[in-house]
Amino acid sequence: MKNKQFILAARPVGEPKETDWQLQEPDVAELTEGQVLVQVEYLSLDPAMRGWMNDAKSYIEPVKLGEVMRAGGVGKVAQSRSSHFSVGDHVHGMLGVQQYAVVKDKGLHKVDPELAPLPRYLGVLGMPGMTAYFGLLKTGLPQAGETVVVSAAAGAVGTVVGQIAKIKGCRVVGIAGGEDKCAYLIDELGFDGAIDYKNTDVKAGLKQYCPDGVDVFFDNVGGEILDAVLARINLHARIVICGAISQYNNTSAVKGPANYLSLLVNRARMEGIVVFDNAKHYGEAAREMAGWIAQGKLKAKEHIVEGLESFPQTLMMLFKGENFGKLVLKV
């Protein structure tokens, strides 16, 4: 049986281009004991994939040149030499950008397509949802009545952060690119304010929508937006450094916060998070979030693009703000 897969062909400089990957069609390998063959159905496209392409020390090994591009995904077991999985089971794991994945059973866990549509296990019930849940609740420590600001607010992580902050009784302000995204945050998700950073002044927006300052900032973007929010933080504010997508394609040094003395003045805390640190507790979080979804308090939005071959262009949508909600590739 033939596979189709994208391998990493070159390390990008700045924005990745199509030639940084190569589409190959090798035979699917025979299974050995403990392995499972998964027919990949949906792939999670994440900003982190840009970082995995760099040959640099990080929280996870870089993808090696010539290796299948790493990606989380969900799919169906097509063959099994594991006592834990049967043909027809649906599973989640690091499946890679390919049609068929040969994976060790230890790296997979079952998902139930009857309980939620499969793409949801890559969004609100998957890695981005867990990032929002633990990043906000364990590090952001929001208290009812406080003001929470989130950047990349209309994205996979941002939409969940804002909605959980609302559930916890906070005033929530999102920063996102474009009128449509801002209208969605307010009209559909119940945010108290939304700042269109592409068309309006962020500093003025923060002044308008955060009249009492900012207690928690959940930052997905970094750069100038981080600086603008730092200028508005309150005493003992918590800044959650979840990501810095504005910096991932830099060819020069990452732009650090110029306003960091605001942390000193306000006795505030800025702390980085990595979702995998909470892996042991994903089950509890998923149960609580599934409850909120059932009660209509937490809405999920997926942006699904079809076709494995479109992987390079689809991934780049994240860096152009062309995705609206969790970006998923249907294989």
Which residues of this chain interact with ligand NAP, rule CB under 6 A?
Answer: 46-48, 127-128, 131, 152, 154-158, 176-178, 181, 220-221, 242-246, 273-275, 318-319, 321, 323, 327
Q: What is the DSSP string of 141-162?
A: ---TT-EEEEESTTBHHHHHHH
Q: Answer whether 68's CB lies under 8 Å from 53's CB.
A: no
Which residues on adjacent β-strands are paired with residue 303?
327
CB of 275 to ligand NAP, least distance (A): 4
Task: Between 86 and 313, name the residue whose CB sits nearer to ligand NAP.
Answer: 313
Task: Between 80 and 126, name the residue whose CB sits nearer to ligand NAP.
Answer: 126
Closest by Cα among 137, 126, 128, 162 to 147: 162
Task: Between 16 and 47, name the residue whose CB sits nearer to ligand NAP.
Answer: 47
Task: Between 44 and 262, name the residue whose CB sits nearer to ligand NAP.
Answer: 44
Q: Answer whether 58's CB lies under 8 Å from 18's CB.
A: no
CB of 25 to ligand NAP, least distance (A): 29
CB of 13 to ligand NAP, least distance (A): 17
Find the length of the chain. 331
Cα(305)–Cα(310) distance, integer angstroms: 8
Cα(203)–Cα(273) distance, integer angstroms: 26
Task: Between 85 and 311, name the residue whose CB sits nearer to ligand NAP.
Answer: 311
Task: Between 77 and 157, name the residue whose CB sits nearer to ligand NAP.
Answer: 157
The 3-class secondary structure across 71-122, one letter per residue, is CEEEEEEEEECCCCCCCCCEEEEECCCECEEEEEHHHEEECCCCCCCHHHHH
Residue type, 63: V
Task: Between 79 and 323, name the residue whose CB sits nearer to ligand NAP.
Answer: 323
CB of 112 to ligand NAP, least distance (A): 23
First and final C-alpha spacing in the chain: 17
CB of 160 to ligand NAP, least distance (A): 8
Cα(309)–Cα(18) distance, integer angstroms: 11
CB of 246 to ligand NAP, least distance (A): 4
Closest by Cα among 315, 318, 320, 317 to 21: 315
Task: Between 104 and 276, name the residue whose CB sits nearer to ligand NAP.
Answer: 276
CB of 174 to ligand NAP, least distance (A): 9
Task: Between 78 and 317, name the residue whose CB sits nearer to ligand NAP.
Answer: 317
CB of 302 to ligand NAP, least distance (A): 10
3-class SS of residue 56: coil
Cα(331)–Cα(321) distance, integer angstroms: 22
A 10 A CB-CB count for 21 gives 22
CB of 79 to ligand NAP, least distance (A): 31
